[in-house]
């Protein structure tokens, strides 16, 4: 009887594990095909392969626009992530711990870019800069680095705020109150008690901010210029002129960079560790 009763449970677990494996395979199929194509000796994707080559990776570094786009995207993503942390963590702390009128409305304001389509948000920011900001300042802002950083900050800030607020809402506030009761100042309690406790959420928000900024195409397309372009725009320009696995090689490098960022961030933030 026991064996008969446990058999449906074993079948259910087997079906569930097969379903999970199928989902993982589906999600990994596209990146694996891109990686495979980046080593293809010809411009046409073939299977089984006739050989492997790394010349497309060498071709990446032979294209000045792609190289410039890589470094510009790393710079923009890094600066944007730092700015999102400097603004988002205090904002999340105020929204999670504070009790003031309009708190819910302010939280919705910070998180509103998450519900807008990227292209619509990019057009709105572009119109704001061109129609309002440029006439008031008399400066040509489109095609320059500061407006590009500001635009990327708008789309990355909600990720830091959301992740940090989640950590704050699930963390134990009693330890912070105990530190204050023992004589610690508000700053000391935050940096020595609260911040270590919410570190996984802060790091997760930083990872999302970096990845979202690095791969953003719409904002970069509107705010980049001939002298300054990000990697997504450079890839778009390259595909318009050439049809070869160089783009697959660039994509493989981006996949490797993203994986490295996630692994390092997980190690620093202690993501996935059991307490």
Whether 84 shows a pLDDT value over 50: the answer reads yes
* Nearest residue to 199 via CA among 108, 265, 120, 133: 265
User: Most confidently modeled of 38-47, 68-77, 97-106?
Assistant: 68-77
Among the ranges given (38-42, 113-117, 212-216, 223-227), the one the predictor scored with the smallest mean pLDDT = 223-227
Whether 64 shows a pLDDT value over 80: the answer reads yes
* Nearest residue to 167 via CA among 188, 192, 189, 195: 195
Mean pLDDT of the chain: 80
Helix axes of 55-62 and 246-269: crossing angle, nearest 10 degrees? 90
Contact 230, 69 (CB under 8 A): yes
Looking at the chain, the whole-number percentage of residues with pLDDT higher than 90 is 8
Whether 95 shows a pLDDT value over 60: the answer reads yes
In this predicted model, which residue has the larger pLDDT, 44 or 232? 232
Whether 1 shows a pLDDT value over 60: the answer reads no
- 185: which 2 tokens? 């100042």
Per-residue pLDDT at 81? 93
At 8, the pLDDT band (50, 70, 90 cuts) reads low
Cβ neighbours of residue 169 under 8 Å, at least 6 residues apart? Answer: 96
* Nearest residue to 246 via CA among 85, 62, 68: 62
Per-residue pLDDT at 159? 92
Average pLDDT score over residue span 94-102:
79
* 126 half-sphere exposure, CB direction, 13 A CA radius: 15
Phi-psi region of 117 (alpha: psi -120 to 50; beta: other; left: phi over 0): beta
């Amino acid at each position: 009887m026991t064996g008969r009763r446990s058999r449906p449970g074993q079948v259910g677990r087997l079906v569930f594990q097969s379903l999970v494996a199928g989902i993982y395979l589906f999600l990994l199929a596209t990146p694996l095909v891109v990686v495979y194509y980046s080593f293809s000796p010809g411009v046409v994707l073939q299977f089984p392969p006739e050989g492997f080559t790394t010349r497309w990776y060498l071709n990446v570094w032979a294209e000045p626009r792609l190289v410039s786009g890589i470094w510009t995207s790393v710079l923009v993503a890094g600066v944007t992530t730092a700015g999102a942390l400097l603004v988002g963590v205090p904002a999340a702390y105020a929204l999670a711990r504070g009790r003031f009128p309009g708190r819910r409305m302010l939280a919705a304001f910070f998180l509103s870019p998450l519900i807008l389509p990227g292209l619509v948000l990019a057009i709105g920011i572009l119109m704001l800069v061109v129609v309002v900001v440029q006439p008031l300042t008399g400066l040509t802002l489109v095609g320059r680095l500061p407006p590009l950083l500001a635009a990327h900050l708008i789309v990355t800030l909600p990720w830091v705020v959301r992740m940090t607020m989640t950590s704050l809402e699930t963390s134990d506030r009693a330890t912070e109150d105990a530190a204050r009761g023992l004589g610690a100042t508000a700053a000391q309690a935050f940096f020595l008690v609260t911040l270590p406790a919410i570190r996984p959420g802060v790091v997760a928000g930083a990872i999302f901010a970096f990845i979202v900024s690095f791969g953003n195409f719409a904002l970069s397309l509107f705010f980049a210029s001939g002298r300054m372009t990000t990697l997504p725009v450079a890839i778009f320009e390259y595909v318009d002129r050439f049809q070869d696995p160089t783009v697959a090689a660039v994509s493989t490098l981006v996949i490797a960079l993203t994986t490295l960022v996630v692994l390092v961030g997980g190690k620093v933030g202690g993501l996935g560790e059991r307490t």
